[in-house]
Protein backbone atom coordinates (compact mmCIF):
# COMPACT_ATOMS: atom_id res chain seq x y z
CA UNK A 1 0.00 0.00 0.00
CA UNK A 2 1.31 3.44 -0.94
CA UNK A 3 1.23 6.06 1.81
CA UNK A 4 2.61 9.51 2.56
CA UNK A 5 4.88 10.14 5.51
CA UNK A 6 6.97 12.94 7.00
CA UNK A 7 10.60 12.28 7.92
CA UNK A 8 13.28 14.34 9.62
CA UNK A 9 15.13 15.93 6.73
CA UNK A 10 17.81 17.79 8.68
CA UNK A 11 18.69 18.87 12.20
CA UNK A 12 18.61 22.58 13.08
CA UNK A 13 21.55 22.13 15.43
CA UNK A 14 21.40 22.47 19.20
CA UNK A 15 21.28 26.26 19.06
CA UNK A 16 19.40 26.58 15.77
CA UNK A 17 15.84 27.69 15.14
CA UNK A 18 13.76 24.94 13.50
CA UNK A 19 12.21 25.61 10.10
CA UNK A 20 9.70 23.77 7.94
CA UNK A 21 12.50 22.47 5.73
CA UNK A 22 13.84 20.36 8.60
CA UNK A 23 11.02 17.97 7.64
CA UNK A 24 10.36 16.24 4.32
CA UNK A 25 7.18 14.73 2.90
CA UNK A 26 7.77 11.56 0.93
CA UNK A 27 5.93 8.60 -0.52
CA UNK A 28 6.45 5.18 1.02
CA UNK A 29 4.79 1.78 1.24
CA UNK A 30 3.45 -0.46 3.99
CA UNK A 31 2.41 -4.11 3.87
CA UNK A 32 -0.93 -5.02 2.34
CA UNK A 33 -1.63 -7.52 5.11
CA UNK A 34 -1.43 -7.30 8.89
CA UNK A 35 -0.25 -9.86 11.43
CA UNK A 36 -1.91 -11.20 14.58
CA UNK A 37 -2.20 -8.46 17.21
CA UNK A 38 -1.82 -5.66 14.67
CA UNK A 39 -4.26 -3.06 13.35
CA UNK A 40 -4.25 -0.90 10.24
CA UNK A 41 -5.17 2.66 11.13
CA UNK A 42 -5.98 5.78 9.15
CA UNK A 43 -4.46 8.88 10.72
CA UNK A 44 -6.93 11.65 11.55
CA UNK A 45 -5.00 14.10 13.75
CA UNK A 46 -1.39 14.62 14.79
CA UNK A 47 -0.12 16.70 17.69
CA UNK A 48 2.71 19.21 17.33
CA UNK A 49 4.36 20.10 20.65
CA UNK A 50 7.28 22.20 21.94
CA UNK A 51 9.06 19.19 23.50
CA UNK A 52 9.60 17.83 19.99
CA UNK A 53 12.29 20.46 19.49
CA UNK A 54 14.50 18.34 21.77
CA UNK A 55 13.88 15.28 19.57
CA UNK A 56 15.39 17.09 16.60
CA UNK A 57 18.81 16.89 18.29
CA UNK A 58 21.01 13.80 18.26
CA UNK A 59 21.09 14.12 22.03
CA UNK A 60 17.67 15.10 23.39
CA UNK A 61 19.12 15.99 26.76
CA UNK A 62 16.59 13.68 28.40
CA UNK A 63 16.59 10.03 29.33
CA UNK A 64 12.91 9.59 28.44
CA UNK A 65 12.93 11.26 25.00
CA UNK A 66 14.37 9.42 22.00
CA UNK A 67 15.80 11.50 19.13
CA UNK A 68 14.20 11.39 15.72
CA UNK A 69 16.56 9.82 13.16
CA UNK A 70 17.43 11.49 9.87
CA UNK A 71 15.34 10.24 6.92
CA UNK A 72 13.18 8.22 9.34
CA UNK A 73 9.51 8.90 10.02
CA UNK A 74 8.81 11.30 12.89
CA UNK A 75 6.25 10.44 15.55
CA UNK A 76 4.28 11.88 18.45
CA UNK A 77 0.74 12.04 19.75
CA UNK A 78 -1.85 10.93 17.22
CA UNK A 79 -5.48 9.93 16.79
CA UNK A 80 -6.85 7.66 14.10
CA UNK A 81 -9.54 5.19 13.15
CA UNK A 82 -9.09 1.44 12.86
CA UNK A 83 -9.61 0.24 9.27
CA UNK A 84 -8.62 -3.42 9.82
CA UNK A 85 -7.92 -5.34 13.01
CA UNK A 86 -6.36 -8.59 14.12
CA UNK A 87 -6.34 -7.50 17.77
CA UNK A 88 -8.93 -8.98 20.12
CA UNK A 89 -9.88 -5.69 21.79
CA UNK A 90 -10.04 -3.46 18.72
CA UNK A 91 -12.51 -3.51 15.83
CA UNK A 92 -12.92 -1.69 12.56
CA UNK A 93 -14.33 1.76 13.23
CA UNK A 94 -12.79 2.17 16.69
CA UNK A 95 -11.04 5.46 17.39
CA UNK A 96 -7.62 5.06 18.98
CA UNK A 97 -4.65 7.12 20.16
CA UNK A 98 -0.97 6.70 20.97
CA UNK A 99 1.95 8.83 22.20
CA UNK A 100 4.14 7.35 19.45
CA UNK A 101 1.95 7.71 16.37
CA UNK A 102 3.98 7.86 13.13
CA UNK A 103 3.58 10.96 10.99
CA UNK A 104 2.03 9.15 8.04
CA UNK A 105 -1.38 8.84 6.43
CA UNK A 106 -1.89 5.12 7.15
CA UNK A 107 0.04 2.89 9.54
CA UNK A 108 0.21 -0.67 10.83
CA UNK A 109 0.50 -0.59 14.62
CA UNK A 110 0.66 -2.98 17.55
CA UNK A 111 -2.86 -2.96 18.95
CA UNK A 112 -1.64 -3.44 22.51
CA UNK A 113 0.05 -0.03 22.38
CA UNK A 114 -3.12 1.81 21.44
CA UNK A 115 -5.75 3.33 23.71
CA UNK A 116 -9.37 3.12 22.61
CA UNK A 117 -11.21 6.44 22.75
CA UNK A 118 -14.79 7.34 23.65
CA UNK A 119 -15.72 10.33 21.42
CA UNK A 120 -18.75 11.20 23.58
CA UNK A 121 -16.42 12.22 26.42
CA UNK A 122 -15.29 15.24 24.38
CA UNK A 123 -18.53 15.93 22.56
CA UNK A 124 -17.13 14.24 19.45
CA UNK A 125 -14.08 16.51 19.18
CA UNK A 126 -11.48 13.77 18.71
CA UNK A 127 -8.58 16.20 18.46
CA UNK A 128 -9.21 17.15 22.11
CA UNK A 129 -7.69 13.79 23.07
CA UNK A 130 -4.34 15.25 21.91
CA UNK A 131 -4.82 18.42 23.93
CA UNK A 132 -7.24 19.33 26.68
CA UNK A 133 -8.32 15.71 27.27
CA UNK A 134 -4.90 14.26 26.50
CA UNK A 135 -1.32 14.58 27.66
CA UNK A 136 -1.46 18.40 27.51
CA UNK A 137 -4.47 18.63 29.81
CA UNK A 138 -2.98 16.01 32.10
CA UNK A 139 0.24 18.01 32.32
CA UNK A 140 -1.71 21.13 33.29
CA UNK A 141 -3.98 19.40 35.82
CA UNK A 142 -1.41 17.16 37.47
CA UNK A 143 1.16 19.96 37.46
CA UNK A 144 -1.21 22.19 39.40
CA UNK A 145 -2.25 19.40 41.76
CA UNK A 146 1.12 17.78 42.38
CA UNK A 147 3.45 20.80 42.38
CA UNK A 148 1.25 23.88 42.83
CA UNK A 149 -0.07 23.18 46.33
CA UNK A 150 -3.25 25.09 45.52
CA UNK A 151 -5.78 25.20 48.36
CA UNK A 152 -9.35 26.46 48.26
CA UNK A 153 -9.75 29.54 50.44
CA UNK A 154 -6.02 30.25 50.67
CA UNK A 155 -6.35 33.43 48.56
CA UNK A 156 -3.51 32.39 46.25
CA UNK A 157 -2.37 34.25 43.15
CA UNK A 158 -1.17 32.20 40.17
CA UNK A 159 0.92 33.48 37.28
CA UNK A 160 1.20 31.49 34.05
CA UNK A 161 3.88 32.14 31.43
CA UNK A 162 3.29 30.97 27.87
CA UNK A 163 -0.31 31.40 28.92
CA UNK A 164 -1.81 31.35 25.45
CA UNK A 165 -0.14 28.07 24.55
CA UNK A 166 -1.65 24.61 24.68
CA UNK A 167 -0.69 23.88 28.29
CA UNK A 168 -0.67 27.39 29.72
CA UNK A 169 -4.18 28.26 28.55
CA UNK A 170 -5.48 25.18 30.39
CA UNK A 171 -3.27 25.59 33.47
CA UNK A 172 -4.62 29.03 34.29
CA UNK A 173 -8.21 27.85 34.05
CA UNK A 174 -7.43 24.77 36.14
CA UNK A 175 -5.71 26.93 38.76
CA UNK A 176 -8.95 28.85 39.14
CA UNK A 177 -11.06 25.66 39.22
CA UNK A 178 -8.76 24.19 41.88
CA UNK A 179 -9.05 27.23 44.14
CA UNK A 180 -6.76 30.13 43.13
CA UNK A 181 -8.42 33.48 43.79
CA UNK A 182 -6.46 35.34 41.10
CA UNK A 183 -4.88 34.16 37.84
CA UNK A 184 -2.62 36.31 35.65
CA UNK A 185 -1.25 35.19 32.29
CA UNK A 186 1.81 36.30 30.33
CA UNK A 187 1.64 36.08 26.53
CA UNK A 188 3.18 37.71 23.47
CA UNK A 189 0.39 39.64 21.71
CA UNK A 190 -2.57 41.82 22.62
CA UNK A 191 -4.86 39.33 20.86
CA UNK A 192 -3.64 36.48 23.03
CA UNK A 193 -4.02 38.55 26.19
CA UNK A 194 -7.56 39.50 25.20
CA UNK A 195 -8.52 35.85 24.62
CA UNK A 196 -7.08 34.82 27.99
CA UNK A 197 -9.21 37.38 29.83
CA UNK A 198 -12.40 37.39 27.75
CA UNK A 199 -12.65 33.70 26.85
CA UNK A 200 -10.68 31.78 29.43
CA UNK A 201 -11.43 33.64 32.62
CA UNK A 202 -7.96 34.94 33.50
CA UNK A 203 -8.20 38.02 35.71
CA UNK A 204 -5.55 39.81 33.69
CA UNK A 205 -2.85 39.19 31.09
CA UNK A 206 0.46 40.87 30.33
CA UNK A 207 1.91 41.31 26.83
CA UNK A 208 5.58 40.79 27.63
CA UNK A 209 6.57 42.52 24.39
CA UNK A 210 5.02 45.81 25.54
CA UNK A 211 5.91 47.80 28.61
CA UNK A 212 7.74 46.76 31.75
CA UNK A 213 6.76 43.24 32.83
CA UNK A 214 8.02 43.66 36.40
CA UNK A 215 5.97 46.84 36.89
CA UNK A 216 2.86 45.26 35.41
CA UNK A 217 3.27 42.21 37.63
CA UNK A 218 3.53 44.37 40.74
CA UNK A 219 0.37 46.19 39.73
CA UNK A 220 -1.63 43.05 38.87
CA UNK A 221 -0.32 40.89 41.73
CA UNK A 222 -0.15 43.36 44.64
CA UNK A 223 0.03 40.53 47.18
CA UNK A 224 2.87 38.83 45.35
CA UNK A 225 2.84 35.49 43.50
CA UNK A 226 2.04 32.21 45.28
CA UNK A 227 2.03 29.76 42.36
CA UNK A 228 3.95 30.11 39.10
CA UNK A 229 3.20 27.77 36.21
CA UNK A 230 6.43 28.10 34.23
CA UNK A 231 6.29 27.22 30.54
CA UNK A 232 9.06 29.44 29.21
CA UNK A 233 12.00 29.97 31.57
CA UNK A 234 14.53 32.71 30.82
CA UNK A 235 14.08 36.41 31.62
CA UNK A 236 10.30 36.16 32.03
CA UNK A 237 10.65 33.51 34.72
CA UNK A 238 13.40 35.44 36.49
CA UNK A 239 11.06 38.43 36.67
CA UNK A 240 8.19 36.37 38.09
CA UNK A 241 10.37 34.54 40.63
CA UNK A 242 11.66 37.84 41.97
CA UNK A 243 8.06 38.68 42.98
CA UNK A 244 7.14 35.34 44.52
CA UNK A 245 6.16 35.03 48.15
CA UNK A 246 7.72 33.08 51.00
CA UNK A 247 7.00 29.33 50.73
CA UNK A 248 5.54 29.70 47.23
CA UNK A 249 5.72 27.15 44.42
CA UNK A 250 7.01 26.96 40.85
CA UNK A 251 5.42 24.33 38.60
CA UNK A 252 8.34 23.62 36.26
CA UNK A 253 6.47 22.51 33.16
CA UNK A 254 8.54 23.71 30.21
CA UNK A 255 11.35 26.07 29.25
CA UNK A 256 10.46 26.88 25.65
CA UNK A 257 12.67 29.98 25.57
CA UNK A 258 15.66 27.69 26.17
CA UNK A 259 14.87 24.89 23.69
CA UNK A 260 17.04 26.34 20.93
CA UNK A 261 20.00 26.69 23.32
CA UNK A 262 22.54 24.11 24.39
CA UNK A 263 21.80 24.24 28.12
CA UNK A 264 20.91 21.54 30.67
CA UNK A 265 17.29 20.93 31.65
CA UNK A 266 16.03 22.43 33.78
CA UNK A 267 18.28 25.41 33.07
CA UNK A 268 20.04 26.80 36.15
CA UNK A 269 18.76 30.09 37.51
CA UNK A 270 20.99 33.19 37.54
CA UNK A 271 22.78 33.52 40.90
CA UNK A 272 20.65 36.45 42.13
CA UNK A 273 17.39 34.65 41.28
CA UNK A 274 18.63 31.40 42.78
CA UNK A 275 19.39 33.32 45.98
CA UNK A 276 15.80 34.62 46.07
CA UNK A 277 14.47 31.11 45.50
CA UNK A 278 16.46 29.69 48.40
CA UNK A 279 15.87 32.57 50.82
CA UNK A 280 12.11 32.47 50.25
CA UNK A 281 11.94 28.67 50.26
CA UNK A 282 10.36 28.58 46.81
CA UNK A 283 9.95 25.03 45.50
CA UNK A 284 11.19 24.46 41.93
CA UNK A 285 11.07 20.77 41.13
CA UNK A 286 11.13 19.14 37.74
CA UNK A 287 7.66 17.93 36.77
CA UNK A 288 7.12 15.01 34.39
CA UNK A 289 3.55 13.92 33.77
CA UNK A 290 4.65 10.39 32.85
CA UNK A 291 5.60 9.86 36.50
CA UNK A 292 1.93 9.97 37.45
CA UNK A 293 0.51 7.27 35.17
CA UNK A 294 -1.63 5.89 38.03
CA UNK A 295 -3.56 9.17 38.09
CA UNK A 296 -4.09 9.56 34.34
CA UNK A 297 -7.44 7.80 34.04
CA UNK A 298 -9.21 9.67 36.82
CA UNK A 299 -7.61 12.95 35.76
CA UNK A 300 -8.70 12.47 32.14
CA UNK A 301 -12.28 11.92 33.28
CA UNK A 302 -12.09 15.13 35.33
CA UNK A 303 -10.84 17.06 32.30
CA UNK A 304 -13.60 15.63 30.11
CA UNK A 305 -16.24 16.54 32.70
CA UNK A 306 -15.01 20.14 32.81
CA UNK A 307 -15.06 20.27 29.00
CA UNK A 308 -18.62 18.93 28.84
CA UNK A 309 -19.75 21.39 31.51
CA UNK A 310 -18.14 24.30 29.68
CA UNK A 311 -15.84 25.04 32.61
CA UNK A 312 -12.69 24.38 30.59
CA UNK A 313 -12.45 26.42 27.41
CA UNK A 314 -10.40 24.85 24.64
CA UNK A 315 -8.54 26.63 21.84
CA UNK A 316 -6.93 24.81 18.92
CA UNK A 317 -4.94 25.98 15.93
CA UNK A 318 -5.68 23.42 13.23
CA UNK A 319 -3.56 23.09 10.09
CA UNK A 320 -4.90 20.97 7.23
CA UNK A 321 -2.70 18.43 5.48
CA UNK A 322 0.26 16.25 6.44
CA UNK A 323 2.41 18.20 3.97
CA UNK A 324 2.05 21.28 6.19
CA UNK A 325 3.22 19.72 9.47
CA UNK A 326 6.71 21.24 9.16
CA UNK A 327 5.25 24.71 8.73
CA UNK A 328 2.93 24.07 11.69
CA UNK A 329 5.94 23.11 13.83
CA UNK A 330 7.84 26.23 12.79
CA UNK A 331 4.82 28.43 13.56
CA UNK A 332 4.33 26.87 17.00
CA UNK A 333 8.00 27.28 17.95
CA UNK A 334 7.85 30.95 16.96
CA UNK A 335 4.79 31.49 19.17
CA UNK A 336 2.47 32.11 16.28
CA UNK A 337 -0.46 29.97 17.38
CA UNK A 338 -3.06 30.10 20.15
CA UNK A 339 -3.83 26.97 22.13
CA UNK A 340 -3.00 23.48 20.92
CA UNK A 341 -1.33 22.99 17.53
CA UNK A 342 -3.08 20.19 15.63
CA UNK A 343 -2.55 18.88 12.11
CA UNK A 344 -5.60 17.35 10.44
CA UNK A 345 -4.35 14.57 8.20
CA UNK A 346 -7.32 12.84 6.56
CA UNK A 347 -9.00 14.46 3.59
Could you please state the CATH topology (level 3) that the domain comprising 135-290 is classified under.
Rossmann fold (3.40.50)
* pLDDT tens for the 347 residues of the chain, in order: 999 999 999 999 888 889 999 999 999 999 999 999 999 999 999 999 988 998 999 888 777 789 999 999 999 999 999 999 999 999 999 999 999 999 999 999 999 999 999 999 999 999 999 999 999 999 999 999 999 999 999 999 999 999 999 999 999 999 999 999 999 999 999 999 999 999 999 999 999 999 899 999 999 999 999 999 999 889 999 999 999 999 999 999 876 544 444 445 577 899 999 999 999 999 998 888 888 999 999 999 999 999 999 999 999 999 999 999 999 999 988 877 788 999 999 75
Q: What is the CATH number of domain 2-131+315-344?
A: 3.90.180.10
Q: What would the DSSP string read from start to end of 47-116? A: EE-TTHHHHTSSS-SSSS-PPPPBTSB-EEEEEEEEEEE-STT--TT-EEEEEEEESBSEEEEEGGG-EE
Name the DSSP class of 31: -
Domain boundaries of the chain, sorted by first residue: 2-131+315-344, 135-290
Dihedral sign (CA 336, 171, 281, 239): positive
Does pTM surpass 0.85? yes
Distance in angstroms (rounded) separating the CA atoms of residues 335 and 330 = 9
Cβ neighbours around 258 below 10 Å, total: 18
Cβ neighbours around 42 below 10 Å, total: 15
86 to 65, 95, 106: CA distances (angstroms): 30, 15, 16
How does pLDDT run across 249-293, given as a tens digit for each residue? 999 987 654 444 444 557 789 999 999 999 999 999 888 888 899
Distance in angstroms (rounded) separating the CA atoms of residues 111 and 34 = 11
How does pLDDT run across 46-101, given as a tens digit for each residue? 999 988 998 999 888 777 789 999 999 999 999 999 999 999 999 999 999 999 99
Amino acid sequence: MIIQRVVLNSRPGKNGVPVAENFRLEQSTIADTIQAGQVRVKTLYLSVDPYMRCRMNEDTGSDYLQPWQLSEVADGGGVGVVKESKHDNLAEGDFVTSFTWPWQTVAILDGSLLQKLVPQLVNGRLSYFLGAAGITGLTALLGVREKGHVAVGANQTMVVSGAAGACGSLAGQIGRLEGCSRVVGIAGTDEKCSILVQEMGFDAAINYKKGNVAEQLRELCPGGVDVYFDNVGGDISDTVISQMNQNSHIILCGQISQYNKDVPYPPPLPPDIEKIQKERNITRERFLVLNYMDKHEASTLQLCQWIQEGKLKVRETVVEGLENIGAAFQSMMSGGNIGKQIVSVSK
